[in-house]
Structures are given as C-alpha cells and as structure tokens.
Structure 1
Amino acid sequence: MRKRLEGFRPSRRLLFAAGTAAAASTVAASTAEATPGAARISAGAYGSGVLSAWEGFARAISNEAQIRRTRETDGVFMFGDSIAVQDGPALAQQLAQLGISIAVHNWAGRPATPAVDALDTWAQQYGLPHRILMSVGSNDIFAPPAVAAQIDRTMQIVGDERTVYWVNVQAARTGLGPDIKVADQRNSAWINLQLADAARRYDNLRIVHWAEHLASSPNRLARLLRDGLHPSKPLGQNARNGLIISALKAG
C-alpha cells in the first residue's frame, strides 16, 4: 500500500543528508505539518513561495528526428527543468563520447507533473528507450506532496522493462531570506523522501544521489551550487553530470 506522505515532517537526519544540517534544528522546532490544498498552495503554504508561470521560460526540446534516432538506437530520453536546460548540452556531449544518444525535453521552472505529461506524450508518439532520465523536482518545493503521485505515474508509463534514473534535489536559495531557505531545505528533503520510498517499491527506479553528494563534504554546497539550487559551472555541472553518467553505466 502506498505510504501517505502528505502530513510527514522530515527527520533531522534526512534534512542533513539533503545538504544543510545547520538548518535542521530550526526546522524541527518551528515547522508545522503541511497539508495539501489548492488555496493554501496558492498562498505559499509550504514556505518556499509560489511556483512561477514557467511556460514562458527557457526550454530545450529535441526535434522529432533526434527523438526518433534516440529511440531507434535505444539511447536516453531526458525530462528536466532549468538545471537540465543549463547542464543538458554538456551531458549530451559526454554521452556522445560513450556512444549514447540522448533526446531532451527540458523546460526551466517546470515541476514534475507537466514533465511527466511530456513523458507520456513521447511514450505515445514515439515509444520509449530503455533508459529514462528524470531531472525534475526542484520546482516542487512549492508543493512537495504532488511528487509521489508523479513518480507513480512515471513508473506506470515506463513499465517494468525500462529503467528510470531520477536525480534527487537540493534547494536552499541563497538570495532569499532565512525562513525561505529553511523551507526550501525541508521541502527538498520531503521530495527526496518520496523518491526514496518509491525506490523501495520499484525495482527499476534508480535515484541519482545529488543531495547526498552535496552533503558529504562541508565545502560542496558553496563550491558546487552557485545560488543554492543551480550547479556552478564547471565544477557543479561536472559533478552532477558525472553522477548521472555513473548511474547510467551502472544500469
């Protein structure tokens, strides 16, 4: 039975694993349980603010020829957000050196739900290769309970014979106030808990542990993130893409 996460408050240990241990005691002391609901979400119910109208933001979407070529060569389909828009070209170059083709549907500001909609559309129009890369979730800090259902949707679309690689998230936006940074961190951990729970239920779901990588050394957050969210270039970009490539190689 699917676990109910809507009222879940992340533990201090998992907050630390997501990357900002210093915020953990503040979260534990001051965070009220979040409950879903459209009215509260529109008011910034989860403390990180409100999702922007992302549809006009930058995007990178492969043309039909590249999509079909990637499908025919059993490459990788990637669905991502602004991090993927930034880092996707470098990732594609590295994969090409390994003889792996990639087709992307990356859109800045986009949360998981419309990304999974795009996956569903490509599945129906083109079919799917055996590797699906999901680089989304950072924009779900504004409404974290939505993520669990989108992971389940993804796994249903993909089926049992394909593997999904999902990069977990770390957000604590440095240009905003301390309360928002704490909320960002709490909500990142909440999203990552939903991914970890899903990985226990789906044998073909692989988590790319970006958050844990950032947390594993005291200086990595400052060195590998330029704003508390997006990877720095080239250090953060190389580190994150390297984790993705390692996961793809591992199968």
Structure 2
Amino acid sequence: MRKLLSGVRPNRRQVFMAGAVAAASTVATTGTAAAGGYGSGDLGAWQGLSKAVATEATIERVLSLNGVFMFGDSIGVQDGKALALRMKSKLGLELAVNNWSGRPTKDTVDALANWKANYGLPRRIVMACGTNDIFTPPVMAAQIDRAMSLVGQRTTVLWVNTQVARTGLGNTVLLADQRNSAWVNLQLAEAQRRHSNLRIVRWAEWLAAKPSRLNTYLRKGIHTSVPLGQDARNELIVQAVNAG
C-alpha cells in the first residue's frame, strides 16, 4: 500500500477518461434507463438508514488530542471503525466520525456546520461524501465551496473522491453512474484550484489504474469489499492525513 498516493494529478480529460475506463471494465447486465434527470435514478429517503456518529465525549476527546473528524456516507458507516483503528495504529491520531448511509453532500456539510457550532473543528477533516450526489451531480461545486468556507483556511480538508458504477442495474445505469461520478470528481478537482487547503484522496483514480481492482475492491460497483477494498481506501485516507 506504500505507493497508493504516488499518482499524478489528473486534468479534466484524465478525470473523464478514468471514469470511462472504469465503466467499460465493469461487468454489468442489460437493463433499462433509470428515472431521474441524470440517468442514475433518484436519491431515496435516507434519514432512516444506518448511521455511525461519535458521542459528545468522543468528539471532545478527539478535539483535545488534536485528532481528526470524518464526515461520510454508507461507506464510512461500514469502514469508519477500521479507519479509526488504522489511523491510531499508524499515525497515533484519534478519529471522531459522523457517517450516515444515503446522505448527500449538502446534508453532510450541514453536519459539519453543526459540529463546528457545537464543538469547534480540529485542524484536519476527512470528507468522504459525494457518492450520493451522482443523482444530481451539479450540486457538488457549491457544497464543496460551502464546506471550505465553514472550515476556514487553517484547517486541511482531505476529500475522498467518488467511484460508482452499480452492477446489476443494466449498462445504461452503469454508464450514467460512471459519467456522474466523473462529473462529481471534476468539480472536486476544480475546487482544489480555488482552495489551497483542500486535498483530494484519489480513490477513483486508484481503482481505475487497474481494471481488475473494480471487482476485487468493490461490491456491486459502489461499496468497498471487506477487507481488501476497505483496507485500500482506508490506507489512502491515512496516507493523505499523514501527508497533510
């Protein structure tokens, strides 16, 4: 895992090419187009889905120890505990999580704003969201800027980019997922030019580097496999935190 972060930063064309390679390399069944204006369908109700949110005592302890906050979605719900153990073991850092399955970036940034108002923020934050914005990808840029405005320039934000190509829903949906993932990631790449304290954790590029990784490190084209995908993505995050 030592060289997970060694890739070059992509330009616009490379971002979309990575998406196209990933989509073309994923096995899918045939099917019909999804509902929704962007081809991936519609985001359903997520408020009743599973979540993992740190207690107030944990949040305050992490702040006092100059640790890390994480805000994410269902991948974080699954992988957050393992990430906390890896971060503690490798970097000696404590992690407080706010992960909620199905949650889009707007509501994730709302959670960031809530924690800022109630507790304050550490100097490093992991944003692991964007997966649920493939249904309406144009919203992403404004929410990234909003998050960066909330944290200010003294806090480093490590933002994990997105890879979705759901298998089993048909080629039309799969390709829309990948196109919309690339759209989300492009907005993140462009935001990095506006915000010097924004770092991108390049999960999508790491997966696209070898076509076999999509089936090995993902389940059904979206969630990480355990332990391989979980370990790979968490290692990328830990390396990004360590690099600052």
TM over 0.5: yes
Q: 1:56 aligned to 2:48?
A: yes
Decide whether aligned partners of structure 1 residues 77 and 21 sit closer, same or farther in structure 2, where only a CA change above 3 A counts: closer
Q: Match of 2:17? A: 16
1:110-189 to structure 2, matched below 5 A, reads 110-189=103-182
> Which of 54, 74, 83 is the aligned partner of 1:91?
83
Q: Which runs of 5+ in 2 are unaligned?
A: 1-10, 26-34
Q: Structure 2: how far apart are the matches of 1:21 and 1:242?
A: 21
Aligned to 2:3: none
Q: 2:200 corresponds to which residue?
A: 207
The alignment status of 1:190 with 2:191, answered yes or no, reads no
What's the Cα RMSD here? 1.6
Shift of 1:17: 1.7
| 8 A Cα contact 1:19 1:215, kept in partner | no
Tell me the secondary structure at the aligned position of residue 103 of structure 1. strand
> In structure 2, how many angstroms separate the alpha carbons of the residues matched to 1:221 and 1:15?
16
Q: Indicate the SS of the match to 2:112.
A: helix
CA 1:22 to 1:139, structure 2 compared with 1: closer, same or farther past 3 Å? Answer: closer
Give, in angstroms, the shift of residue 218 of structure 1.
2.1
Give TM-score, length-normalised by structure 2.
Answer: 0.88
Name the SS for the 2:47 alignment partner.
Answer: helix
- The answer to whether the Cα contact below 8 Å between 1:19 and 1:170 also exists between their aligned partners in 2 is no
Cα displacement string for residues 66-93 of structure 1 (whole angstroms, at most 9, x for unaligned residues): 0111111111110000000011010011
Q: Cα gap change, 1:136/1:110 in structure 2, threshold over 3 Å: closer, same or farther? A: same
Task: Provide the TM-score with structure 1 as the length reference.
Answer: 0.86
- The residue that corresponds to 1:233 in the other structure is 226
- Structure 1's 131 and 12: CA in aligned 2 closer, same or farther, altered over 3 A? closer
Considering Cα pairs closer than 8 Å and 6+ residues apart, tell me whether 1 or 2 has the greater RCO: 2
Which amino acid is 1:76 matched to?
V
**Structure 1 runs of 4+ with >2 Å offset:** 10-16, 18-24
- The answer to whether the Cα contact below 8 Å between 1:15 and 1:21 also exists between their aligned partners in 2 is no
5+ long unaligned stretches in structure 1: 1-9, 25-42
After TM superposition, give the deviation of residue 52 of structure 1 in Å: 1.1
1:13-52 matches, cutoff 5 A: 13-18=14-19, 20-21=21-22, 23=24, 44-52=36-44
Counterparts in 2 of 1:11 and 1:22: CA distance versus 1, 3 Å:
farther
Question: Is 1:78 paired with 2:64?
Answer: no
Following TM superposition, by how much is the alpha carbon of 1:11 offset from its aligned partner in structure 2, in angstroms? 6.7
Aligned partners of 1:135 and 1:167 also within 8 Å: yes
**CA gap 1:224/1:111 in 2 versus in 1, 3 angstroms:** same
Matched letter for residue 236 of structure 1: G
The percent of aligned pairs where both chains have the same amino acid is: 58
In the alignment of these two chains, the number of paired residues is 224
